[in-house]
Chains A and B, each alone.
Chain A
C-alpha cells in the first residue's frame, strides 16, 4: 500500500469535513490522517530541492504503479509519502549534502510546486484507474470502479529481481531514520552476492563474509548496540534455530526497552513502536525474519500500543518487560513441557525413532522420554553443508541414548528399521503445509513410501497465516560459498564465479505437504495437519 494509495491533502480534508458533517465515528482515522499529513508536510519541505528529478519521478510513477505494488511490512501510521515526493535512490548520499547547499525556496514557490505535483499525480492516477486493492479499507472514498484486474501484492523480500522494489526498499530504509540524524547513520542496504540460480533469482542471496555491520558507522546512533550484536550473530549463524532466534530477539528487545527514554511531547506507546521499526528492518537485512520472530514482534507491538497513555514510564517499562518474560515462558518453555508430555505417550518401548537435523524441541522430547525410562534408540539423519545433526547427536549421546548417525543419502536404506519419525518445524502454514529445514520433505516422502508414521512437533506460536504450496515462492538462500569445501577438504568449486554457466544453490527451507504428515503435536494437544487453521481461528478468538 505504499504506492499512491494516499488521497492528497485537500481531498482528505474534504473527506474529514464530510465525515464530521455526517457525524460518522472516524476519530481514530482522522487522527491518523492528520498525523500523516503533518509528516508528509515535513517531508515535502525537506525534499523541495529535487526539482530536476521530479519529471523522471512522474515517469517512473506510472511504470511502478503498473507493476505489482510491493507491500512494505511497515504499516500506515509511520509513513506513506506520496511517491512523487521521495528522493530517487541511485544517488542518495551525494544528493542530500548537495541539497543542503541549495538555498531555501520561498513559501509561495514551494506551495505552487506542491500543487503542480499533486495535479500531475492526480492526472496520472486518473489514467491508471483503480490500481487494485489500494484504497485502505477504512477510507470512506471508494475506488473508481474500472474493470482493472486486481493486482496481488507480493512481499518485497520475494521481489529481489524487480529493480523498482529494490529502490523502494532503499527509500524506506532512508525514511526510517529519525529526522535529526544525517545520512551517515542511516541503515545500509545489503547487496546480493554471486550468481543466483534463475528459479530463485527473486530471493536475496547474501555472503557471510560481508555482514551488514561493516557498513554501519561507529557509533551507530540509529541502531541500539544490542540489536547490532544480534544482527551480527544472526548473519554469521552463531544464533541459529527457530526458538533460539526468537528468544535472542526478545532478550535484545528487553534491553532496548530498558535503555529507552520517552522523548518530550511523545507517547511511549507510539514512539517506542516507531523506534523498533528500523531495528526490525536492520535485522531483516542481516537475516530474513522467521515466522516465529514475526509472531513475537506482532505480540510486542500489540502490547506496546496497549499501554495506557497515563501510565508512568517506569511502570510501563516494567509491564513490558514482564509481558516479554511471560511470553517466553508460556509459548516456549511451558509449551515444550506440554509437547513432551503428549509425545511420551506416543513413544513405546522398543521404538526406533528417526530424527533429522537439530531441533531443540525434538531433542528435549527425546531426553525427557529417556528420563522416564522408555527404551528406544535413535537414528540421526544429517545433511550438508550445515551438518546440524552432529549437534543433536552430541546432545543425545551425552544423555546416554543409543544413537546411529547417517547422512540423508542413506535414508531409504535404514527406513525399514524405523518405527517412527519425529520432525521439528520452522513454521506451520495455514493450509497445513510444514515449513522446515531443507531435506525434511524428502524424509517425510520416503517415510510415507515405507508406511512409517511421521510426527511433527511444533509450538503454537510458530503457526502462521501464510499459505504456500511449493518451496520456490518464498524461501531463504544461504551463502553459496558454503558448498565449496567438501568433507575431505578439497575445494574444487573454489573458482565457481568464473564459470559463467555455474550456479551454486544453498537453500535453507522446504515445505512438506500435509498428506505426508500423520500427526502434529502442539501444546494444545495432538491434531491432524489439516486442523492448523482451526487452531489459528481459536487463537484469534481468544485474543
Chain B
C-alpha cells in the first residue's frame, strides 16, 4: 500500500528507541506520531485522523505492548480535543502540532512526578520485592537512594527473557544491595519483604494492571501474606480495556509482535503478559496522583469522556 511511508515510520520509531534506551516505548511512539503529523500532506481533518490511526496501528504491529496502543490513542484524543474552528487547514495543523509538543513535554515529566510521590512510601531499612525490568521502578528506587534511604531489593529473574538480571545490574550501579531470586521462589521470599513494587505495561478500566507474566502470581502471594502491593505507572498507560479474567485479554497484547506475525498456532506459544485484578492492588502511583484501583475508572472517564 504505502510502503515507503510505512518504512519511514517504522525506521524513525526504531531510531528513537535506539537513541534513548531509557525512554518508554510509548513516548517514542508518540514522538513518531508527532513527526508523522508534521510530515503529513493530507488535505482534510478527517483524512488526518485516519492516517494517524493507521500510523498507530503500524506502530502497534512493530511493538505490541499495551502502552504503545494506549499512548497513541491518548495522543489522538489530546490533540483533537481542541475546538478546531480555524478554517485554514495549515493553522489547524499548527495548533495540533503545538498541543502534541505540549503533550510530549507533559509525559516526559511523568516519571519524575511518579518517583516523587512514591519514594516516601519506602521507609528506611525496607526490603522491597520487584518483578522484571521496569524503568519507572528504577527511577523510584533511584530517588529513594538519593534521599539517603537504606533499603535492599529482591528481583525476580523473570523468564523467558531474564530481564530481572538487567534490573539487578542497574541497581548494583546505584549501590543498592540486590538479590536475584527465581520466579518460583516468590512465595518463599515474601515473608522477608515489607512491600512489593511493580511497574505496569497498561492500566485497565477496572483498576487492574497488565504486566509481565508472573505479576499476577506475585500479587496473589502478597495478598495472602498481607503485604502491600504497589503499582507505579504513567498516565498514558491508561487503556480502555476491561478484562474479566486472564483469557479475556486480547491476543494482540499477549504475545510479541513478531510472534503474532509468524506463528500459526498461538496456543503453543507462551503469553508474555498477564492481568492482575484490582482487588489484589493496594495503591497505584501515577502522575495524576496516588490512586486506589476504584479511582482509576474516575480518571479514565475524565480522560476519555
Contacts and interface: CB of A to CB of B under 8 A. Distances in A.
Interface of A: 346, 420, 453, 455, 515, 518-519, 524, 526-528, 530-531, 534-535, 538
Contacts of B301: 527, 531, 534-535, 538
A528 B299 CA distance: 13
Contacts of B244: 346, 420, 453, 455, 518-519
B245 A531 contact: no
B245 A528 contact: no
A455 B245 CA distance: 12
A528 B305 contact: no
Interface in B218-249: 242, 244-245, 248
A534 B294 CA distance: 11
Contacts of B61: none
B205 A526 contact: yes
B294 A530 contact: yes
- How big is the B interface, by class? 10 to 19
Contacts of A420: 244
Contacts of B245: 453
A420 B247 CA distance: 12
Contacts, number: 36
B136 to A, nearest CB: 24
B267 to A, nearest CB: 14
B297 interface: yes
B206 interface: yes
For the complex of A and B, the 6 pairs showing the least CB-CB separation, nearest first, are A530-B294, A453-B244, A531-B297, A526-B242, A534-B298, A528-B206
24 contacts: A346-B244, A346-B248, A453-B244, A453-B245, A455-B244, A518-B206, A519-B206, A519-B242, A526-B242, A527-B205, A527-B301, A528-B205, A528-B206, A528-B207, A528-B297, A530-B294, A530-B297, A531-B294, A531-B297, A531-B298, A531-B301, A534-B297, A534-B301, A535-B301
B284 to A, nearest CB: 14
A420 B206 CA distance: 17
| Interface residues of chain A: helix, strand, loop or mixed (majority) | mixed
Contacts of A453: 244-245
B20 to A, nearest CB: 36
A528 B206 CA distance: 6
Contacts of B298: 531, 534
A534 B278 CA distance: 18
A330 to B, nearest CB: 17
A288 B301 CA distance: 34
A519 B242 CA distance: 8
Contact of B278 (A524, A526, A527, A528): A528
A524 B279 CA distance: 23
Given A420-B244, A534-B298, 7 more contacts: A346-B244, A453-B245, A515-B279, A519-B206, A528-B297, A531-B294, A531-B298
Contacts of A515: 279
A342 to B, nearest CB: 9
Contact of B305 (A518, A519, A538): A538
Interface in B249-305: 278-279, 294, 297-298, 301, 305
Nearest to A342: B242
Contacts of A518: 206, 244
A528 B279 CA distance: 12
A453 B207 CA distance: 16
B297 to A, nearest CB: 4
B204 to A, nearest CB: 10
B296 to A, nearest CB: 9
Interface in B66-117: none
A346 B205 CA distance: 14
Contacts of A531: 294, 297-298, 301
Nearest to B247: A348
Contacts of B207: 528
A518 B297 CA distance: 13
A420 B244 CA distance: 9
Contacts of A535: 301
B305 A527 contact: no
A515 B207 CA distance: 14
A326 to B, nearest CB: 22
A92 to B, nearest CB: 52
A417 to B, nearest CB: 16
Contacts of B278: 528
A37 to B, nearest CB: 46
A17 to B, nearest CB: 48
B173 to A, nearest CB: 40
Contacts of A538: 301, 305
Contacts of B206: 518-519, 528
Nearest to B292: A530
B216 to A, nearest CB: 13
Nearest to B296: A528
Contacts of B294: 528, 530-531
Contacts of A455: 244
A530 B278 CA distance: 12
B34 to A, nearest CB: 28
Contacts of B305: 524, 538
B243 to A, nearest CB: 10
Nearest to A527: B297
Interface string B134-160: 000000000000000000000000000
Nearest to A524: B305
A107 B279 CA distance: 72
Nearest to A515: B279
Most buried by A among B207, B248, B297: B297
Contacts of A346: 244, 248
Nearest to B298: A534
A180 B18 CA distance: 88
B217 to A, nearest CB: 16
Contacts of A528: 205-207, 278, 294, 297
Nearest to B240: A525
A535 to B, nearest CB: 8
Contacts of A519: 206, 242, 244
Contacts of B205: 526-528
A416 to B, nearest CB: 15
Most buried by A among B207, B242, B245, B294: B242
Nearest to A346: B244
B299 to A, nearest CB: 10
Contacts of B297: 527-528, 530-531, 534
A494 to B, nearest CB: 47
Nearest to B294: A530
B162 to A, nearest CB: 32
A399 to B, nearest CB: 25
A463 to B, nearest CB: 14
A346 B305 CA distance: 21
A371 to B, nearest CB: 22
A31 B237 CA distance: 55
Nearest to B242: A526
A290 B162 CA distance: 58
Contacts of A527: 205, 297, 301
A530 B207 CA distance: 11
A215 B298 CA distance: 51
Contacts of A526: 205, 242
A528 B305 CA distance: 16
A324 B244 CA distance: 37
